[in-house]
Structure 1
Amino acid sequence: MAAIAKGDKYTTTKNFIAELAGILTIIPLAPFICRYIPPVMIGEWNFDLIAAVLIAVAVVRVILWLVKPLIIPAFLLVFTILTVNQINNKYGFGNILNDYKTLAYQNWMIREQKQPDGLSIDPRSFGNPLNKTSQLIKARVNTTDSLVRNFSVKHSLDNFDEYQPKYGMVTRYLSLFQYINTHFKYVPDSQRDEYFANPRETILNGMGGDCDDHSILMASCLMSIGARCRLVIIKGHMYPELYCGDKQGYELMQQAIIQLFDKEQIDRIYYHEHNNEYWINLDYSARHPGGRYLNDDVRMVIDL
């Protein structure tokens, strides 16, 4: 009887360890699976990570049901991979924590902030496309120059590659935004003359210039890899905006920003919207895409 009791206790211990290993495997497995699931929105609520957790639970339960002894090696393998990735600055424990935080931020903490100006009512009412300033600026935008195109492709691959299966080209746009805004340095024009640099000039001069040079560079680079952009002139300033698409496209962009720019204290995503077309701010004054606008005194919109 003692031998049987001892055997039962040993079996119970093994089962407990296997179940614990299963739970510990689910925790990092769910966000890994989530990277390959498109955002799942029900109304304004995001459920893709929850769906990934359910898939991870199902996978672990199947392993426990079919080959229970393998769950412990599976957990050790996942833990080892995450440790190596953490050391090599790839997808590791910090990314897992951030992925769980993203769900909470997306559903409960982030608030949309539609910019309350006339641009959200009717963009066509701002500026004349034949205006001399508009023509000069549009003439400086260049999306086909080989230097601009190669620069854009290179830096669109710098960051966020592990999330490309989830967010597609959005990761490329946001990677390029991060590079340009991290490296751009403000240098004013002369007090007497306004000069609009083309993107090749700005790249070759070391990423320096004023707000219009930054706007022309950002729009040219993003458009050279397939994005749609426009330039907005406000009182004393100009900034680029990136087209997100309709409400669903905007929600995809919003989730990507929250997840990929997790080091920023994001409490609002600012945008313009008209006829279900959503545009977000890509100004150099913003630490993340969709940052606060400097002012709402819109003077001109330059469609590209």
Structure 2
Amino acid sequence: MTTIFQKNYIHYKDKLSLPKPWDTVVIFLLNVLLAIPTFIIAHQNLKETDFKIPIDRILLFIFILIVYQLILHSIKKYLIIGIFCYFIILIYGTLFGTYSFYRVYDDYRSMVYTMGDNPYPQDIIIGKLLPFPNKFKVLKSIDFQNPKVRNFALYATTKHFTDVKRMKGYREYRTIIQCFAVFKEIKTHWNYVNDPLGNNYIASASESLQHFSGDCDDHAVLMAAGIKAVGGVPRLIHTDAHIYPEMLIGTQRDLENIVYLIRNVLFKEESKGKKIHYHIDEHGQIWLNLDYTAYYPGGQFMSETILGQLTLNN
């Protein structure tokens, strides 16, 4: 009985194995297909380093390749089952909107694009920040529920990037793209005008819409209100004699995809050859610079000395 069982086991084992040299080719392909998404997930959950060349990521990818190579080589007699399981998982992910093949490709493309010197982070420590000046006056000025502000924001979203929001792979960033449309519309029309001498005048967002004019705090208020009106999460940063707006992007993976969008789809000419500037808060969330001095989201900071911040998250 044992002999018959062993013969059947060997028979089916041989049936499930691949002939040489195809087993080596398949192992290599499976290794790459498994290593890439694993590396992406690991990369997105590891802290960024200051290395000019991402040697830590290179070594990580090599390590993952070696581990998968050893695993696949040890089960090479069952490669057909492995291939079948891989494609079942891939088909399931594609049909039900989880981690599909396109998502792997999109994440890999964005990750590779941002592993160079394109993004430019500057960490901030919230515990050291000072109270935000004129906080309640500023909050009152951000009247995002005013019909004028809401209608302006809606108009901006129908004028800019309407085709991109429907493109495959970008739908999950629809709100951010709409916020970028608000940024573009304000940037196109904004006219910098100083406050009256000796008077720190803060105009409401609905007031600034009349002439698209004012100083940095007026711009920051209008930008924050417009972003808030279409579902984004803005905040204002107070520096030495300057206030500017930022918007919440999300995680490292989100940043990588947004950087790709900015530089290759939405603001190709404005951001060409330039870096993307952002801050990372104490929770690891990423905030993109939207200052009036920038011609694209993530433009260079006018001032990097942060004194206070005011977040509009409710």
Is the aligned partner of 1:123 residue 2:130?
Answer: no
Is the aligned partner of 1:213 residue 2:218?
Answer: yes
- In structure 2, the CA distance between the partners of 1:192 and 1:270, relative to structure 1 (3 Å rule), is same
Q: Give the match's secondary structure for 1:287.
A: coil
Q: TM-score, normalised by structure 1?
A: 0.61
1:104: Cα distance to partner?
11
CA distance in 1, matches of 2:252, 2:294: 22
- In structure 2, the CA distance between the partners of 1:133 and 1:267, relative to structure 1 (3 Å rule), is same
1:41: Cα distance to partner?
11
1:107: Cα distance to partner?
5.5
CA distance in 2, matches of 1:194, 1:172: 31
Q: TM-score, normalised by structure 2?
A: 0.59
Query: Which ranges of 4 or more aligned residues in structure 1 deviate by more than 6 Å?
Result: 102-105
Structure 2, unpaired ranges of 5+: 1-36, 45-108
Query: Quick check: 2:111–2:253 contact (8 Å CA) kept in 1?
Result: no
Which residue pairs with 1:290 in the alignment?
A: 298
1:266: Cα distance to partner?
3.9
Which residue pairs with 2:142 in the alignment?
A: 141
Kindly provide the CA deviation profile for residues 175-203 of structure 1, in whole angstroms up to 9, marking residues without a partner as x: 11111011100010012100000011000
How many percent of aligned residue pairs carry the same amino acid?
A: 26
Is the aligned partner of 1:161 residue 2:162?
Answer: yes
- In structure 2, the CA distance between the partners of 1:281 and 1:103, relative to structure 1 (3 Å rule), is closer
Q: Provide the aligned length of Structure 1 versus Structure 2.
A: 202
Structure index of larger Rg? 2
| One of 187, 191, 205 as aligned partner of 1:199 | 205
CA distance in 2, matches of 1:41, 1:268: 28
1:213: Cα distance to partner?
0.3
CA distance in 2, matches of 1:202, 1:41: 48
Which residue pairs with 1:260 in the alignment?
A: 266
Query: Quick check: 2:245–2:289 contact (8 Å CA) kept in 1?
Result: yes
Which residue pairs with 2:65 in the alignment?
A: none
Q: Give the match's secondary structure for 1:232.
A: strand
CA RMSD for the aligned pairs?
A: 2.4
Query: Quick check: 2:176–2:232 contact (8 Å CA) kept in 1?
Result: no
Kindly provide the CA deviation profile for residues 16-51 of structure 1, in whole angstroms up to 9, marking residues without a partner as x: xxxxxxxxxxxxxxxxxxxxxxxx996379xxxxxx
1:154: Cα distance to partner?
0.6
CA distance in 1, matches of 2:152, 2:159: 11
Query: Quick check: 1:170–1:256 contact (8 Å CA) kept in 2?
Result: no
Is the aligned partner of 1:225 residue 2:230?
Answer: yes
Which residue pairs with 2:9 in the alignment?
A: none
| One of 181, 184, 205 as aligned partner of 2:190 | 184
CA distance in 2, matches of 1:293, 1:187: 20
Kindly provide the CA deviation profile for residues 240-286 of structure 1, in whole angstroms up to 9, marking residues without a partner as x: 00100111222222121112101122421111012220001000101
CA distance in 2, matches of 1:182, 1:276: 32
CA distance in 1, matches of 2:189, 2:120: 27
Which residue pairs with 1:281 in the alignment?
A: 289
